[in-house]
Structure 1
Amino acid sequence: MKLLVLDGNSLVNRAFYGIKLLTTKDGRPTNAIYGFLNTLQGLMNAHDPDEVAIAWDLKAPTFRHKMYDGYKATRKGMPQELADQMPVLKELLGYLGYPMVSREGYEADDILGTLSAAWGARQDDCLLATGDRDSLQLVSETATVLLTATRMGRSETVVMDLAAVREKYGVEPKQLIQVKSLMGDTSDNIPGVAGIGEKTALALIQKFGTLDGVYEHIDDAAIKPGVRTKLLAHREEALLSRTLATIDCAAPIETGEGTYKRQPGDPAAAAAMLADLEMHSMIGRLGLPEPGAAAPAAAAEVPAACLSPLPESLTGPVYLARGEQGWYAVADGAPYSVEEDRLPALLDGEAELRVFDAKPLYHIALDAGGEGKAITFDGKLAAYLLNPSASEYSVGHLAAEYGVQPAFVCEDCPDAGVLAGLCEALQAKVTADGMDELLRTIELPLARVLADMERYGMQLDGAGLEAFGQTLKTELDACLARIWEAVGYEFNLNSPKQLGQALFDKLGLPPRKKTKSGYSTDAETLESLRGYHPVIEDILQYRVYQKLNSTYVEGLLRQLGPDGRVHSTFIQTETRTGRISSTEPNLQNIPVRTQLGSRLREFFTAKPGWLLADADYSQIELRILAHISGDETMRQAFANGEDIHRSTAAKIYNLPPEMVTPQLRSSAKAVNFGIVYGIGAYSLSQDIGVSVKEADQFIKNYLATFPGVKRYMDDTIAFGQEHGYVATLYGRRRALPELASNNRNVRALGERIAMNTPIQGTAADVIKLAMVRVWQRLREEKLAARLILQVHDELIVETPPEEKEQVARILKEEMQGAANFTVPLTADVGEGFTWREAH
C-alpha cells in the first residue's frame, strides 16, 4: 500500500510565488489554486497512490509557539491574494474527493511525520510531498520526501530517499535535527548557535553524531577555539532549537489503513467551480464533466434533428460554427450539418449569420469570389474583446463560463445545443460593456482583411535567402574558429556549462552569477563582459549569426510555399493590447535594428514586374499621447511639424532646438517612448548611460514640462483602481486586477499597464481601422493591388507599377484619415521591389 501526503501550506505557498498573478475577469486571484492543482495532478499521475492526504496548518498556536515566543515570529503574514484563495482551494479539493487533515496545536509537518511513522510501522510506503527541507528528517526505508517547487509556472520535483539524503548531507536523515539545532533556521526563527552555519554544523554532527555528542567532546581538538566559545555561550539555545526542530510523529490524528482513501466527491460541483474560476482547461485535465453538459429537463422535449442537412429555406438568424465533424448550423432551434460546397452561397446570401470564428469562413467566401457579407457577428472575437487574457476561446468552455445551458442534446455535435445561447450571451455582454461598435466596425471586418492577406501571402526570394544562409554559415565557422583559438581548445559553444568553464575557469574572466548547472552565460552576463576579452565580441556575434540562420533563414525556407510565397497566419485573439500577431512564419519580428538583420527584408519582394508600397505611421503612440493627455505643449509641437524628440530635449534643457546635441535628443527620445510604460530612473539611466540621479531629474523635468502627461498618468491609474479596467479611445477594455494587489511589485506592474494600455491599445485600434479602410478602398476602386502585410504601424501593398501613385494616395489618405485626433496622424509612403527598399 502507498500513501501520498501533501504539505498543503508549503505547496500552496510555492505555487503562489512561483506563478505570476492570475485572476478571473472580475479580479479574483487564482494562481495559487491553479499551481496547487497542477502539482497535485502531477504527483497523482506520477505515483498513483492507494491513499492520499492533504495536511494543513491551523491558525491556532502550536506546542512550539507555547514553548518559545519567538517561534516563526519573524514571518510576514500571508498576502491577501493568497489568503483569498485558501478557502476556495479547500472547498474545491473537497469536491474533488481529497481527504484533508489538520489538528489544533500541531503543524502540517507533524501530520506528515505521524502518518509516515504509522505507515512505516506497517512496512507500507509513504511519499511526503513538500517544499520544506525540514521534512527530510522523516526519510526512512519506507518514507520518501518529494521536494516540490514551482518555478516559472512549472512544477518540479526532486526525490529524496535515504541514499539521496546521505549523498547530499553526509549524515542520516534523523541527524538533520541535530544539524538544525546548531545552525538554527532563520525562516522559522529557530535560534541555533549564533555564528555557526550549515557547513560547520554538518561537520560537527558528521564527527560527533549528535548535539549531546558535540557537548560531550567540547574540548576535542577537532573543535576550533572560536567554535567552542560559541557552543558554550549558546548551549541552552541549541537544546531549545533541537526540540523546536524535531517533527512530532505522534500527533493525535487518524492513521488507520483506509482512512485516506480518495472519495467520489462531487465532480459536477468541482467542474462548475473551475468554470467559475475560468480554469476551463483544468476541467478536462482532471477528467471532470463539462459544466452544463447534461441538458435541462425541458430540453428533452425539444426534437433534435441531429445534424440532418441544412434546409434551403431559413427563417431568422443562423448560428454557424465548426465542430469535430465539420461545419454545423443551428437554425430555428435545431442543429444541422452544412456541406462545405453550400457555404459560399450561405455566406453571401440573405440569411443573417452569427458565427463562431469568422476568419475561416471569410477564406471560403473570398475563394469563391464573395466577401462573406451575411456574417453579422463573431462569438470568438466577442469573447476575446470581453477577456483578452484568456488562454483559449472554445464554444464548450465559454458556454460553461457564461452559464449557458444547452437548448437541446445532439450526440453528433455536443456544442450545438449551446451555440445560439452563447452567441446571444456574448452579444449582450459586448453591448453592456460598450464594445458593439468596436466589434462591428473594426474586429469583424478585420477578420475578412486578414483572411485575404493569408490567402495572398508575400513573395520570398528563396534562392537569395538560401545564399544568405550560406554566408551566415561561413561567418559562423570563422567566428567559432576564432573563439576556439582564443580559448585554446575546442568545445561545444551551445553548452552553457562548457562555455562557462572556457570563460571563467580557463580565461579567468570574472563570473557574474551562477546557476544550478554552473556559471551563467546569458546575454546580460556576456554584455557585462564586453571589453574584458576580445572573445566576448565573437561569442555575441556568433549568437547573432546563429539566430539569424536558424530562426529566420532556415525557418522561412521551411514555410516557403510552392507558389514562391509565404502565407503567414494572422492571429486576432492573442495579445492583451489588441495588436495582431502572426505565426508560421512570424512576420512581426523580422529584425530591422541591425544592419545584418535588416538584410532579411531584401528577400521579401514583390512578384515579378510589380512593386511594394510601404506606408508607416510616424510616431503614432506619441501623437495619441498628445491627444489623449491634452498636453498643449506636446500638441503644439506636433501641430508645428517639429521633431518631437528634439523639441522635447529643447524644452527640458531650456535650449534653442539647434543647440540640442544628438545625445540630448536620444535621451529625450528614451523618455518620450518610455514614460507611459512607467519607465523608472534606474531603467532610464541604463538606457541613456547616465547616473540614476541624473535620470531621475530628467524624468522630473519631463513631467514638469508636459504637465498634461503627468495628469493623464495619474487620472488613468485612478480610473483603473476605481473601475478595475482601463480602455482605449475605441472602448477596448483591459481588466487590471493587479491594481488591487497588496503586493507592491504587482501593483506597480498594474500601474504601468494602466498608463500604457490606452496608448498602445488605441494605436492597435487605429492600425486595424486603417487596414479595413485600405482594403475596402482598393476593392472599391477595382485595383489589382492587394494589401499583403501589417507589421506594427506599417502596411504593405503589392501593386502593379501603373497603380502605384493611386495606391500611395489611398494608403496616405486612409491611414491619416483613420482617426480624427487633435494632432494630425502622418504616414510616410515608400516604394521598391524589396521590402527593404520600400521601407
Structure 2
Amino acid sequence: MKLLAIDGNSIMNRAFYGIKLLSNSKGQFTNALTGFMNIYLKEIGEVKPDCVAVAFDLKAPTFRHKANAAYKANRKGMPEELAQQMPVIKELLGDLGIKIVQCEGYEADDILGTLSKAAADSGNECYILTGDRDSFQLVSDRVTVRLATTKETKIYTPDRIMEEYGVTPRQMIEVKALMGDTSDNISGVKGIGEKTALSLIKQEGDVKTLYEHLADIKLTPSVRTKLENGHQDAIDSRFLAEICLEAPVDKATEFYKLGEVDTEKTKALLADLEMMRLIDRLGLSGKAVESADSAVQESKLKLSDLPKFEVKPLDESVISVLGKDKTAYFIFADNKLSILCNDVIYTTEDNAIITAFMGTACEKITFEGKTAHKFAFSNGTHLENLTFCCDLAGYLLNSQSSEYTAENLCLSYKCLYRSDMGEYADLSSLPALSENLKKQLEMTEMTKLFDDIEMPLCEVLASMEFYGVKADAEGIKDFGEVLTIKIDELTLQIYM
C-alpha cells in the first residue's frame, strides 16, 4: 500500500503565502484553502495513494518546548487570515474522507516520522508531502519526501540527498545539530554554518563521534574553539532536531485508507466558501444535494417532491401565444433553444422559430444573454424584453467567483439544483434561482444598478462582440509615436 502523509501546517503556510489573499463575498478568507487543495489534488494524481493522513500541530507545548524554553520562541503568531482557514481545511478534509492526525505533546513532524516508519516497517511505501526540509532525515528506501516548492515538487530519495548534501538522510540530524536552524530557534554551534557542518559530518559521521575525536581532528583554530565552546549546544540542538518516530498515534497504515466522500457536506461547505471550481475538480458537479443549507432543510424540500416538466417541440403555435402576460425561462446554447413556460419545456433547433421567439413580447429570463443577443443580431432582429440574466446577477453579487453556472449559483444562493431533469437541469432551475437572485439584489441594494446598467450593457457588449468596434487607426498610430518619443527620452535620462 501507498501512504501519502501530509504536513498540514507546512502546506497551509506555503499556500497562504504563495497565493494572494482571497475571500468570498462574506469576507471568509480562502487563499490557503485554495492553494492547499491545488497541491493536494496534484499530489493525489501523481502518487495515487491508497491511504492519506494529514498531520497538524496543536497549540499545546510539545516535549521539545518543555525541555527547552527557547525552542521556536522566536516564532510570530499565525496571521489571523490564515488562522481562520485552519479549522475549515480540517472540516473539508474530514468531509472528503481523509484522516486528520493530531497528538498533544508532539509536532506534525513527529506524526509524519511515526507513520512513515510504521509504513516502512510493515512493507508499505510512504510519501511525505511537506514544504519543510526537516523531514529529509526520514527518507529511506521506502520513504520518499515530496518537497513542495514555489515552482515544483522536488522528490527526495536517499540517492538525491547524498547527491545534494553528501550525507545520508539520518546524518541530516547531525548537520542540523551543528549548524542550527534560525526558523526553529535551534542554536547549533555558534559560528558553524552549513558548509562546515556538512564537511565535519562527512568526515566523522555524527556529533558524538566528532566530539570523541575532536582533539585528533585537523581543524582551524577558529573552528576548534567554536566546537569546544559549543559542545553542549550541539547536544541540545541534536535533541531538538531529531524527529520522534514513536508518537502515540495509530500506526496501522490501513487505518488511513481513504473513506467515502460526504458529497452533501462537501458541496455545501464549498458552496458557502464560493469555491465552485473545486467542486468540479473533485468530480462532485451534477451530484444531487437535497439539503445544502438549513433553509432548504427546514422546508423539507426534496428533488423527489418537485414536479417533472414535460418536454415538447417548440413550434409556431406556442410562439403565437407568448405575449406580454407570459414569462419564458430560456437557454440558448449550441444552436438549440429550450424554453420553460407554463410548466412545460419546449425545444427547437429551427432558426426561424428561434428567431421568432427572440422577437416575442413575453418576459424573458435566461443564462448567457449575450449569446442570445448575438444570435438575434445575426438574424437581423433584436432580443426583446430580456429582463434578467442569472449569470450577470451572480457576477454583480460576487465578482470574485471563477464561474457562474446554474449549479454553482444554486449552491451559493440556496436553491435546489434540478439535477433530476437531466440535460434540462439548468433550465429547470431558473425559476427558483432567478427569484432568489432578485431577492439578493434587493437585499444588497443593487437592483437599480442591475436593471439600469448591467442588463442594458449586456446588449451593448454583445453588439460590440458581433459587429466589432470602430478604431481610429491614425490616432492610434500617432499616440504610439508620442509614446516612442517619451520612452526614448526616459531611456536617455536613465543612462545619463
Displacement of 1:598 after TM fit?
Answer: 7.8
TM-score (norm 2): 0.89
Taking the aligned partners of 2:335 and 2:289, their CA distance within structure 1 comes to 18
Is contact 1:292–1:404 with CA below 8 Å preserved after alignment?
Answer: no
Taking the aligned partners of 1:298 and 1:256, their CA distance within structure 2 comes to 41
Residue 227 of structure 1 pairs with residue 237 of structure 2: no
Name the counterpart of 1:376.
387
Is contact 2:110–2:247 with CA below 8 Å preserved after alignment?
Answer: yes
AA of the residue aligned to 1:146: R
- Is there any run of 5+ residues in structure 2 with no aligned partner, and where? 292-300, 486-492
Taking the aligned partners of 1:58 and 1:259, their CA distance within structure 2 comes to 21
Is contact 2:332–2:371 with CA below 8 Å preserved after alignment?
Answer: no
Displacement of 1:327 after TM fit?
Answer: 2.6
Is contact 1:272–1:291 with CA below 8 Å preserved after alignment?
Answer: no
What is the 5 A alignment of 1:756-835? none
Name the counterpart of 1:44.
44
Displacement of 1:349 after TM fit?
Answer: 1.5
Q: 2:327 aligns with which of 314, 317, 323?
A: 317
**Could you say if the C-alpha distance between residues 156 and 592 of structure 1 is closer, same or farther in structure 2, counting changes exceeding 3 Å?**
farther
Describe the superposition over 1:25-52 as per-residue Cα deviations: whole angstroms up to 9, x where unpaired: 0100011111111111111111111211
Displacement of 1:179 after TM fit?
Answer: 0.4
Deviating beyond 4 angstroms after TM superposition, the runs of 4 or more aligned structure 1 residues are 289-296, 298-301, 458-461, 590-594, 596-599
**Could you say if the C-alpha distance between residues 598 and 334 of structure 1 is closer, same or farther in structure 2, counting changes exceeding 3 Å?**
farther
Is contact 1:175–1:210 with CA below 8 Å preserved after alignment?
Answer: yes
Taking the aligned partners of 1:300 and 1:307, their CA distance within structure 2 comes to 22
Name the counterpart of 2:338.
328
Give the SS at the match of 1:414: helix
Name the counterpart of 1:435.
446
**Could you say if the C-alpha distance between residues 50 and 301 of structure 1 is closer, same or farther in structure 2, counting changes exceeding 3 Å?**
closer
Name the counterpart of 1:200.
196
Displacement of 1:444 after TM fit?
Answer: 1.9
Residue 250 of structure 1 pairs with residue 283 of structure 2: no
Name the counterpart of 2:295.
none
Residue 124 of structure 1 pairs with residue 124 of structure 2: yes
Taking the aligned partners of 1:268 and 1:145, their CA distance within structure 2 comes to 34
Residue 352 of structure 1 pairs with residue 363 of structure 2: yes
Is contact 1:292–1:400 with CA below 8 Å preserved after alignment?
Answer: no
Is contact 1:430–1:436 with CA below 8 Å preserved after alignment?
Answer: yes
Residue 276 of structure 1 pairs with residue 272 of structure 2: yes
Taking the aligned partners of 2:373 and 2:335, their CA distance within structure 1 comes to 20
Q: CA RMSD in A?
A: 2.7
Displacement of 1:594 after TM fit?
Answer: 4.4
AA of the residue aligned to 1:348: G
Taking the aligned partners of 1:123 and 1:408, their CA distance within structure 2 comes to 45
- Is there any run of 5+ residues in structure 1 with no aligned partner, and where? 465-589, 600-687, 690-839
Q: 2:463 aligns with which of 446, 452, 455?
A: 452
Is contact 1:383–1:426 with CA below 8 Å preserved after alignment?
Answer: yes
Taking the aligned partners of 1:100 and 1:324, their CA distance within structure 2 comes to 45
Is contact 2:329–2:427 with CA below 8 Å preserved after alignment?
Answer: no
AA of the residue aligned to 1:321: I
Describe the superposition over 1:751-775 as per-residue Cα deviations: whole angstroms up to 9, x where unpaired: xxxxxxxxxxxxxxxxxxxxxxxxx
Describe the superposition over 1:6-36 as per-residue Cα deviations: whole angstroms up to 9, x where unpaired: 0111111111111111101010001111111
Bigger mean CA offset, 33-42 vs 165-174 = 33-42
**Could you say if the C-alpha distance between residues 221 and 595 of structure 1 is closer, same or farther in structure 2, counting changes exceeding 3 Å?**
farther
What is the 5 A alignment of 1:650-669? none
Taking the aligned partners of 2:110 and 2:335, their CA distance within structure 1 comes to 54
Name the counterpart of 1:75.
75
Is contact 1:7–1:54 with CA below 8 Å preserved after alignment?
Answer: yes
Give the SS at the match of 2:244: coil
Is contact 2:363–2:385 with CA below 8 Å preserved after alignment?
Answer: yes
Taking the aligned partners of 1:408 and 1:261, their CA distance within structure 2 comes to 31
What is the 5 A alignment of 1:165-176? 165-176=161-172
What is the 5 A alignment of 1:186-585? 186-220=182-216, 222-290=218-286, 292=288, 296-297=301-302, 299-300=304-305, 302-306=307-311, 308-309=313-314, 311-312=318-319, 313-314=321-322, 316-322=326-332, 326-339=336-349, 340-406=351-417, 409-457=420-468
Name the counterpart of 1:614.
none
Displacement of 1:376 after TM fit?
Answer: 1.7
Name the counterpart of 2:112.
112
**Could you say if the C-alpha distance between residues 301 and 460 of structure 1 is closer, same or farther in structure 2, counting changes exceeding 3 Å?**
closer
Name the counterpart of 1:98.
98
Is contact 2:287–2:419 with CA below 8 Å preserved after alignment?
Answer: no
AA of the residue aligned to 2:327: P
Name the counterpart of 1:34.
34
Q: 2:481 aligns with which of 584, 595, 600?
A: 595
Count, aligned residues:
472
- Greater length-normalized contact order (CA 8 Å, ≥ 6 residues apart): 2
TM-score (norm 1): 0.53
**Could you say if the C-alpha distance between residues 407 and 261 of structure 1 is closer, same or farther in structure 2, counting changes exceeding 3 Å?**
closer
Residue 12 of structure 1 pairs with residue 17 of structure 2: no
Taking the aligned partners of 1:270 and 1:119, their CA distance within structure 2 comes to 29
Is contact 2:103–2:249 with CA below 8 Å preserved after alignment?
Answer: yes
Is contact 2:65–2:71 with CA below 8 Å preserved after alignment?
Answer: yes
Describe the superposition over 1:304-348 as per-residue Cα deviations: whole angstroms up to 9, x where unpaired: 213643633245311122357833222123332243432322222
AA of the residue aligned to 1:16: F
Percent identity between matched residues is: 43
Is contact 2:337–2:354 with CA below 8 Å preserved after alignment?
Answer: no
Displacement of 1:123 after TM fit?
Answer: 2.6
**Could you say if the C-alpha distance between residues 345 and 323 of structure 1 is closer, same or farther in structure 2, counting changes exceeding 3 Å?**
closer
Displacement of 1:222 after TM fit?
Answer: 3.1
AA of the residue aligned to 1:435: M
**Could you say if the C-alpha distance between residues 417 and 293 of structure 1 is closer, same or farther in structure 2, counting changes exceeding 3 Å?**
farther
Displacement of 1:211 after TM fit?
Answer: 0.8
Is contact 2:263–2:289 with CA below 8 Å preserved after alignment?
Answer: no
**Could you say if the C-alpha distance between residues 400 and 325 of structure 1 is closer, same or farther in structure 2, counting changes exceeding 3 Å?**
farther
